[in-house]
Chains A and B, each alone.
Chain A
Amino acid sequence: MNNPFDNTLNRRQMLGHFANGFGMLGLAQLLSDDFASRALAAPSSNPLTVRPPHFAPKAKRVIFLFMSGGPSHVDTFDPKPKLAELNGKPLPIERPKLERTRTGNLFASPYTFKKHGQSGTEISELLPHLSGCADDICVIRSMVADNINHNGACLQMNTGEQAFSRPSLGSWLLYGLGSENQNLPGFVVISPAQPAQGAPLWNSSFLPAAYQGTLVTDLKKPIANLAGGSSEAQRRKLDLMQELNRLHAAQREEDSRLSSRIESFELAFRMQREAPEAFDTGLESPETRKLYGLDEPTTEIFGKQCLMARRLVERGVRMVQVYHTQTNKRSSCQLWDQHGNLRVELPANCASVDKPIAGLLKDLKARGLLKDTLVVWGGEFGRTPTAEGNNGREHHPFGFTMWMAGGGAKGGHVHGATDDFGWHAAQDRVHVHDLHATILHLLGLNHERLTYRHGGRDYRLTDVHGKLVRELLA
Chain B
Amino acid sequence: MAATTSLSAAPALDQIEFFEKRIRPLLAERCYECHGEQKQKGGLRIDSRDGWVKGGESGTAVRPGKPDESLLIRAVRYTDKELQMPPKNQRLAPQQIADLETWIRTGAIDPRTNAPSATISPSAVTLPFDLATERKKWAFAKPTNPPTPSVKDTSWPKSPIDRFILAKLEANRLRPAPTADKRTLLRRVTVDLTGLPPTPAETASFLADSSPTAFAKVVDRLLASPRYGERWARHWLDVVRYADSLDARSLGKDGDILDAWRYRDWVVDALNRDLPYDEFIRQQIAGDILAAQTNAPFDAGKIIATSLYAIGSWGNGDSDKKKVYTDIVDDQIDVTGRAFLGLTVACARCHDHKFDPITQRDYYGLAGFFFSSRILAKFNAPTAGENIMRIPIAPPTEQATRDALQQRIAAIDAKIAGGLVPFTVVQRDVQNKPGLHSWSPKDAPNPSLVINTTTNAVAFITIKLPARAIALHPGPKTPVTAAWRSPLAGRVRVSAKLIDVDPTCGNGVTWSVRHAGKTLSEGAMDNGKNVEFTEQEVTVAEGDLLQLIIGPRNDYSCDSTQVEFRIKAADGRAWSLHEALINGAKQGQDNLWWICAGEGAQLANDKPDLAALEAERKRLTSELKPPAMTHGFQEGGIPKTEYEGFNDVRLHGRGRYDRLGDVVPRAFPVVLATTQPRIASGSGRLDLARWISSAENPLTARVMMNRLWQHHFGEGLVRTANNFGKLGETPTHPELLDWLASRFTESGWSLKAMHRLMVNSAAYQQSSGSSLTARSDPDNRLFGRQNRQRLDAEALRDSLVAAAGALDFTLGGPSFRELETPRRTLYLMTARSDRSNYRTLFDAADPDSIVEKRTESTVAPQALFLLNHPFAQAQAKALARRAAKEAPAETTAQIGWLYQTLYGRPPLGKETALGIASLAPETGGTVEDRLDRYCHALLCANEFIYVD
Contact = CB atoms under 8 A, between A and B. Distances in A.
Interface of A: 8-9, 12-13, 45-48, 98, 100-104, 147-149, 151-152, 155, 162-165, 182-183, 185, 194, 197-200, 202-206, 208-210, 212, 214-215, 224-228, 233-234, 236-238, 240-241, 243-245, 247-249, 251-253, 255, 257-258, 260-265, 267-268, 271-272, 340, 387-390, 392, 453, 455-457, 464-465, 467
B451 to A, nearest CB: 20
Contacts of B769: 252-253
Interface string B820-848: 00000000000011111000110100101
Given A163-B327, A208-B855, A225-B865, A149 B318 contact: yes
Contacts of A240: 914, 918, 933-934, 937
Contacts of A202: 835
Nearest to A163: B315
Contacts, number: 250
A215 B836 CA distance: 7
13 contacts: A8-B779, A12-B778, A149-B317, A165-B849, A240-B914, A244-B943, A245-B943, A253-B769, A264-B862, A265-B940, A340-B462, A456-B728, A457-B347
B774 A258 contact: no
Contacts of B858: 45-46, 257, 260-261, 263-264
Nearest to B865: A225
* A-B complex: 4 closest residue pairs judged by Cβ atoms: A163-B315, A165-B848, A199-B835, A268-B863
B936 A237 contact: yes
A459 B617 CA distance: 59
Interface in B306-323: 313-320, 323
B611 interface: no
Nearest to A463: B25
Nearest to B315: A163
Given A194-B249, A261-B942, A225 B861 contact: yes
A212 B934 contact: no
A455 B338 contact: yes
A46 B859 contact: yes
A241 B165 CA distance: 38
Interface in B759-780: 769-771, 774, 778-779
B437 to A, nearest CB: 20
Contacts of A252: 769, 948
Contacts of B865: 224-225
A203 B318 contact: no
Contacts of B461: 340, 389
B849 A214 contact: no
Contacts of B503: 102, 104
B857 A262 contact: no
Contact of A101 (B504, B720, B778, B937): B504
Contacts of B318: 147, 149, 151-152, 162-163
Contact of A225 (B723, B725, B867): B867
A209 B25 CA distance: 30
Contacts of B331: 164
Contacts of A13: 778
B785 to A, nearest CB: 10
A267 B860 contact: yes
Contacts of B354: 457
A263 B862 CA distance: 12
Given A212-B840, A253-B769, A268-B863, A237 B933 contact: yes
B344 A102 contact: no
Nearest to A229: B868
A164 B864 CA distance: 31
Given A199-B836, A247-B911, A252-B769, A388 B857 contact: no
Given A149-B317, A206-B849, A271-B860, A390 B778 contact: no
B314 A455 contact: no
Query: Which one of A45, A149, A151, A205 has the highest number of Cβ atoms from chain B below 10 Å of its Cβ?
Result: A149
Contacts of B833: 194, 197-200
Contact of B860 (A198, A243, A268): A268
B29 interface: yes
B841 A464 contact: no
B208 interface: no
- B interface SS class: loop
B247 interface: yes
Given A247-B910, A268-B863, A389-B461, A162 B315 contact: yes
Contacts of A236: 923-924, 933
Given A148-B319, A264-B858, A464-B25, A257 B836 contact: no
B170 to A, nearest CB: 23
B932 to A, nearest CB: 9
Contacts of A389: 459, 461-463, 504-505
Interface residues of B, number: 99
Interface string B911-925: 100100010000111
A155 B314 CA distance: 11
B518 to A, nearest CB: 36
A255 B936 CA distance: 23
Contact of B846 (A163, A165, A340): A165
Contacts of A200: 832-833, 835, 848
A100 B859 CA distance: 44
B3 to A, nearest CB: 23
Contacts of B855: 208-209
A101 B934 contact: no
A257 B834 contact: no
B728 A227 contact: no
B848 A203 contact: yes
B357 to A, nearest CB: 13
Contact of A388 (B464, B504, B774): B504
A233 B932 CA distance: 12
Nearest to A387: B504
B723 to A, nearest CB: 4
A314 B948 CA distance: 42
Interface in B712-741: 720, 722-723, 725, 727-728
Contact of B868 (A8, A147, A225, A245): A225
A204 B848 CA distance: 11
A236 B917 CA distance: 12
Contact of B344 (A227, A238, A257, A456): A456
Nearest to B727: A456
Interface string B496-513: 000000011110000000
Interface in B427-460: 459
Nearest to B836: A215
A234 B925 CA distance: 13
Given A152-B318, A247-B914, A455-B723, A465 B29 contact: yes
Nearest to A234: B867
Query: Which one of B315, B505, B918, B945 has the highest number of Cβ atoms from chain A below 10 Å of its Cβ?
Result: B315
Given A199-B835, A272-B864, A390-B459, A261 B945 contact: yes
Nearest to A227: B868
Contacts of A456: 344, 347, 355-356, 720, 722-723, 725, 727-728
A357 to B, nearest CB: 26
B727 A457 contact: yes
Interface string B854-896: 0111111111110111000000000000000000000000000
B317 A271 contact: no
B789 to A, nearest CB: 10
A206 to B, nearest CB: 5
Contacts of B720: 456
Nearest to A183: B860
A244 B25 contact: no
Contacts of B868: 225-228
Contacts of B790: 257
B382 interface: yes
B93 interface: yes
B319 A98 contact: yes
Contacts of A224: 836, 861, 864-865, 869
B527 interface: yes
B320 A98 contact: yes
